[in-house]
Amino acid sequence: MLAREQFTQFIIDTNPAYTAMDRIYLNNRIMALVGDDNHTIAETSDDALALLDSLVQTATVNHVVPDRFTLEELEAELMALATPAPSAVNARFWSDYQDSPEEALKHFYQLSRANNYIQTRAIAKNTQYTVKTDYGDLEITINLSKPEKDPKAIAAAAKAPISSYPLCQLCMTNEGYLGRINYPARGNHRIVRLNLGGRTWGFQYSPYAYFNEHAIFLDGVHQPMQITPQTFSNLLELITLFPEYMVGSNADLPIVGGSMLSHDHYQGGLHTFAMAKAPIERRFDLDAFPEVSAGIVKWPMSVIRLTSAHRDQLIQAATMIHNHWQQYSDETADVRAFTDATPHHTVTPIARRVGDDYQIDLVLRDNQTSAEFPDGIFHPHPDVQHIKKENIGLIEVMGLAILPARLQTELQEVRHFLLSEPNQMLAMHRPWAESLQRPGITADNVDQVIDAAVGQVFLRVLEDAGVFKRNDVGQAAFDRFTQSLN
């Protein structure tokens, strides 16, 4: 049987808008995308992605790729046929939700995987492991899932006209967008609409998920990231709608604010991060909020945990701490709220359900720079930037390192170095690699040595990003801050 015919059946089975009566129509729509039938490649498979590969190969033979579509655009357009319209996806989601929020999420997640919006095969390329530390098991990911840019595409992008549609990759106008050179195809993209604080927001899954059911909640309006009382209210509303999920927001200032500050959004999913498992180290009272339990979390960054069954008090307490932190300075700890009129303080908030209670972790952030640390005082310092130089955003704050793809090859050279083999190790890795040298490193254990060492570097990265350091002076300064809240 031809791949086209099998893919037609996949569309009929997956998209309730079509029945067997639509078979001829769908065959023709597929041919319109991949080219004439005379070059269709035969393929027998029960795997929709294998069929997709065959159709892309057909389109390549027919010069549809790359003359008319990029590979990614064609894949998305083919899978768009198997994806219900946005209105149908939303109707199904909220109908399922009435019976079970878990079933609604499960179906939407499965659809996003089946139609290849969630790039499962690309994600599988990532390197993932855990490293034990005094703060729990930190998770390490070397991110190989995002496709590398083709040099021809890069050259073409330089000549392409500048477009402002969509405004960014988080805008709702991405839904169904064909894509263009240097901008991802979104023909198979679907967004569930929901109401937060009287405004329309969207809910989708991340195409290059970093953890289980990695969800993105995005403002229906393109406006910058901001941490306000409404942020805390929205986070608690989301974990009321989806009690199994944790949901958090990146901070809203450069250096400490993740990689996307231009569009207000949150991230969440069905995953328990190491920070969520970390215990309260010291409790303190909030006199104005007797129904809220507060404490300092045992974590390399500076985290205040608030727990309460009362949403309103929790929102008010989080708002009070955020406002106070925005104005707070302590020169003994290099903590300064402002340089002239430039603000430096904000928080990274994370919300979750704990039984019937609501819980918010407030990670204190400070984006100062200095002559010694021009990239950021509370940012990965130069001696660890050979492993991680990028901003420490929400996901990493919680204990999951997203490390650059370059390390896949660079660490292989470190491996050769440690085994005294010929190597092309970069000079920036040498001091670190030399510190790892010791008797007894063999081909059988060298990978474990490197993995553990990378985990320790990530721990240092988190410590660097911590405002109140994990020493007597830093923790005394942290206590002064919590005492100043009353």
State the amino acid at position 85 in one-letter form.
A
Q: CA-CA distance, 456 to 435, in Å (whole number)?
A: 13
374 bridge partner residues: none
**Residue 376: other Cβ atoms inside 10 A:** 20
Q: CA-CA distance, 466 to 366, in Å (whole number)?
A: 9
Residues 396 and 405: beta-carbon distance below 8 Å: no
Residues 484 and 324: beta-carbon distance below 8 Å: yes
- Per DSSP bridges, beta strands 338-339 and 265-269 are unpaired
Residues 141 and 134: beta-carbon distance below 8 Å: no
Q: CA-CA distance, 315 to 190, in Å (whole number)?
A: 31
Q: What local confidence, expressed as pLDDT, does residue 368 receive?
A: 96
Residues 115 and 83: beta-carbon distance below 8 Å: yes
Residue pLDDT tens, the chain, 486 long: 688 899 999 999 999 999 999 999 999 999 999 998 655 566 667 799 999 999 999 999 999 999 999 999 999 999 999 999 999 999 999 999 999 999 999 999 999 999 999 999 999 999 999 999 999 999 999 988 765 544 455 445 445 666 789 999 999 999 999 999 889 999 999 999 999 999 999 999 999 999 999 999 999 999 999 999 999 999 999 999 999 999 999 999 999 987 789 999 999 999 999 999 999 999 999 999 999 999 999 999 999 999 999 999 999 999 999 999 999 999 999 999 999 999 999 999 999 999 999 999 999 999 999 999 999 999 999 999 999 999 999 999 999 999 999 999 999 999 999 999 999 999 999 999 999 999 999 999 999 999 999 999 999 999 999 999 999 999 999 999 999 999
Q: What local confidence, expressed as pLDDT, does residue 36 receive?
A: 80
**Could you state, in order of their start, the residue ranges of all structural domains in the chain?**
1-82, 124-145+222-400+471-483
Strands (E), 338-470: 338-339, 342-343, 345-354, 357-366, 400-403
Number of H helices, E strands in the chain: 17, 15
Q: CA-CA distance, 387 to 141, in Å (whole number)?
A: 12
Q: Which two tokens stand for residue 126?
A: 């990532």
Q: CA-CA distance, 180 to 65, in Å (whole number)?
A: 13
- Per DSSP bridges, beta strands 246-248 and 345-354 are antiparallel
* CA dihedral of 88, 91, 95, 98, whole degrees rounded to 10: 150
CA 280 remoteness from chain centre: 26
Q: pTM (2 decimals)?
A: 0.93
**Residue 338: other Cβ atoms inside 10 A:** 13
Among candidate residues 401, 439, 404, the one with its CA nearest the CA of residue 419:
439
Q: For Cα atoms 217, 243, 250, give the angle at the middle one, nearest 5 degrees.
A: 35
Q: CA-CA distance, 32 to 178, in Å (whole number)?
A: 15
Residues 303 and 297: beta-carbon distance below 8 Å: yes
What is the helix, strand, coil percentage profile of the chain, to 5? 40, 20, 40
CA distances from 339 to 89, 171, 252, 333 (A): 48, 33, 17, 15
Residues 192 and 202: beta-carbon distance below 8 Å: yes
φ, ψ dihedrals at 73, nearest 5°: -65, -45
Residues 294 and 317: beta-carbon distance below 8 Å: yes
Residues 337 and 329: beta-carbon distance below 8 Å: yes
Residue 446's SS3 state is helix
φ, ψ dihedrals at 74, nearest 5°: -65, -45
Cβ within 8 Å of residue 337, ≥6 positions away: 325, 326, 327, 328, 329, 343, 344, 345
Residue 263's SS3 state is coil
CA 210 remoteness from chain centre: 6
Q: Which two tokens stand for residue 119?
A: 């790039």
Q: What local confidence, expressed as pLDDT, does residue 191 receive?
A: 98
Q: CA-CA distance, 196 to 20, in Å (whole number)?
A: 40
Q: CA-CA distance, 145 to 147, in Å (whole number)?
A: 6
Q: What local confidence, expressed as pLDDT, does residue 2 receive?
A: 82
Among candidate residues 324, 406, 389, the one with its CA nearest the CA of residue 362:
324
